[in-house]
Amino acid sequence: MDAPNGSQNSEQTLDSEVKAFFDSAPPLHNSNDVIQKLNHFIQLNSSPSENGVGRRIVCVTSGGTTAPLEQRCVRYVDNFSSGHRGATSTEYFLKAGYAVIFLYRRGSFQPFCRSLPGDPLLECFEATEGLNIQVREAYSKAVKTAIVDHHAAVASGLLLKLPFSTVFEYLQMLQIISRPMKDIGPCAMFYLAAAVSDYYVPWKDMVEHKIQSDGSYLLDVKLVQVPKMLSVLRKDWAPLAFCISFKLETDTNILLNKARGALEKYNMHAVVANELSTRKEKVVVVTIDDKITVTRDKSKADDDVENPLIKLLSQRHSSYIEDSKRMR
Ligand code: PMT
């Protein structure tokens, strides 16, 4: 037998890293419930409607994952992401006719709730003299939109929200989501805006109890690289799905090259490049033959960069579905 070449070797290494990651992960306590909700959601939305076709379904990931340092976790390494991108994009995907699986970090921004203040309960409501609770005038529009639009999306079966905190939960849930998504082929989209931990402590190497700080000057914790699941998602989990990943940098000089590198390395359909301080104003969509700058319409006070971004990605997704039909 021939010796495996370089790419076979790196594929085998990735496969064994992925296996090690999932083998060491603490099992999801609610996996049956998640699977049941997902199957129902995908069946409902993928069944052909009057026009004979099912709805397109997108999995939007949002917020940062944590990498715990202790099994009974007191401390963890966190990844920056407020969840604004994912929450806003979800609203525009719903507007564009998609059903959305919103895989989000607990406590991060939620769709339709972006214009609420930091502490909505205490800031939006007030007690009247008879101790009835009423919405403060200044927030009445924001509260109404949040409750009515959010409820409408969930109640009509178009929005399924699944929370995570740790990188173990996130990647296990992404894998679970990809199983029924695989069955709808090119009508599925993954929009991976979550900021996923690059390093983690494998569960079996993690101390059980709170790390003690007495006496030692150095904290010696060994972190292992989290395998990039993007390649696995594209190759094995949902090979026909339309896949969009994100690239965040703080140095604009390297951003586009890094995005291009990720596009090729992980075989993505597009990579959305964004710089930290301008991410709400401008992004660049990098595809194999294009670099499209997408900006927020500043003449409209409440426009979002996600508005033109989701329009563009939805058009690209439509062309991809058409191309896939022709190739059948
Ligand atoms: O939430 P906001 O405050 O609005 O900010 C939005 C954002 C800046 C977080 C978002 O637009 C963004 O850029 N998200 C990706 C940030 C990131 O950290 O990228 P990355 O270089 O670590 O990862 C690139 C891609 O690989 C991501 O799509 C990620 O989901 C994926 N990944 C990362 C690590 C890993 N082990 N497996 C992965 O699949």
pTM of the model: 0.94
Q: Provide, rounded to the nearest whole percent, the portion of the chain with pLDDT above 70.
A: 97
Enter the ipTM. 0.94
Domain assignment of residue 234, yes or no: yes
- For 190-212, the pLDDT digits (tens) are 999 999 999 999 999 999 999 98
CA distance 159 to 151: 9
Residues 59-89: pLDDT tens digits?
Answer: 999 999 999 999 999 999 999 999 999 999 9
Q: State which ligand 1 atom lies nearest to the alpha carbon of 227.
A: 36
**pLDDT reported for residue 126:** 93
Taking CA atoms, 326 is separated from 147, 165, 206, 267, 316, in Å, by 42, 41, 51, 21, 15
Distance 196 CA to ligand 1 centre (A): 6
Is residue 142 assigned to a domain?
A: no
| Residue 124 structure tokens | 């939006």
- Residue 45 Cβ inside 6 Å of ligand 1? The answer reads no
Mean of the pLDDT values across residues 303-315? 98
Q: What is the domain extent for residue 44?
A: 8-111+148-212+222-327
Give the closest residue (by CA) to ligand 1 atom 10. Answer: 193
**Cα 182 to Cα 237: distance, rounded to the nearest angstrom:** 7
* Nearby residues of 248 by Cβ (< 8 Å), 6 or more positions away: 195, 274, 275, 276, 279
Q: Tell me the β-bridge partners of 64.
A: 195
| Ligand 1 atom nearest residue 108's Cα | 1
% of the chain surpassing 90 pLDDT: 84
Query: Ligand 1 pocket: which of 178, 228, 237, 248 to mutate (most atoms <8 Å of CB)?
Result: 248
Distance CA 133, CA 292 (A): 48
Question: Is the CB–ligand 1 distance for residue 193 below 6 Å?
Answer: yes
Residue 301 lies in a domain: yes
Cα 80 to middle of ligand 1, angstroms: 9
The number of domains in the chain is 1
| 3-class secondary structure, 247 | strand
Domain-located, residue 132: no
Determine, yes or no, domain membership for 256: yes
Q: What is the rounded CA–CA span in Å between residue 304 and residue 273?
A: 16
248 within ligand 1 shell (Cβ under 6 A): yes
Residue 3 pLDDT:
47
Q: Calculate how far, in angstroms, residue 274's C-alpha sits from the geometric centre of ligand 1.
A: 10
CB 155 within 8 A of CB 22: no
Q: Is residue 321 one of the residues assigned to a domain?
A: yes
Average pLDDT, rounded, for the chain:
93
Q: How many CB atoms lie within 10 A of CB 20?
A: 14
User: pLDDT tens, 127-182?
Assistant: 988 789 999 999 999 999 999 999 999 999 999 999 999 999 999 999 999 999 99
CA distance 30 to 173: 10
Section 217-245 average pLDDT: 94
Helical H runs in the chain? 6-24, 31-46, 84-95, 120-124, 140-155, 167-183, 229-232, 252-265, 306-327
Q: Taking Cα atoms as reference points, which of 190, 177, 200, 198 lies closest to residue 73?
A: 200
Residue 309: which CATH number?
Answer: 3.40.50.10300
The answer for residues whose C-beta is within 8 angstroms of residue 36's C-beta and 6 or more apart is none
Residue 305 has pLDDT above 50, yes or no: yes
Q: Using one digit for the tens of pLDDT, what is the confidence trace for 176-193?
A: 999 999 999 999 999 999
> Cβ(18) to ligand 1 under 6 A?
no
Is the confidence at residue 1, as pLDDT, over 50?
A: no
Residue 166, pLDDT score = 97
Give the distance between the most distant pair of CA atoms in the chain.
Answer: 85
2 has a pLDDT exceeding 50: no
**Atom of ligand 1 at shortest distance to CA of 63?**
1
**What are phi and psi for residue 274, nearest 5 degrees?**
-140, 145
Q: What is the pLDDT of residues 22-56, one digit of tens each?
A: 998 999 999 999 999 999 999 999 988 777 778 99
Neighbour count for residue 302 (Cβ, 10 Å): 8
- Categorize the per-residue pLDDT at 214 as very low, low, confident or very high, splitting at 50, 70 and 90: confident
Is 135 within a domain? no
Please indicate, yes or no, if residue 126 is contained in any of the structural domains. no
Q: What is the predicted pLDDT for the residue at 284?
A: 98
Q: Mind giving me the DSSP string for 181-229?
A: HHHTGGGEEEEE--B--SEE--GGGSBSSPPP-SS-SS-----EEPP-H
pLDDT at residue 28, rounded to an integer: 95
Q: Which long-range contacts (CB under 8 A, 24 or more apart) does 310-319 make?
A: 310/89, 310/92, 310/93, 310/95, 310/96, 311/92, 311/96, 312/285, 313/189, 313/191, 313/244, 313/270, 313/285, 314/93, 314/96, 314/98, 316/242, 316/269, 316/270, 316/287, 317/56, 317/189, 317/242
How far apart are the CA of 1 and the centre of ligand 1, in A? 40
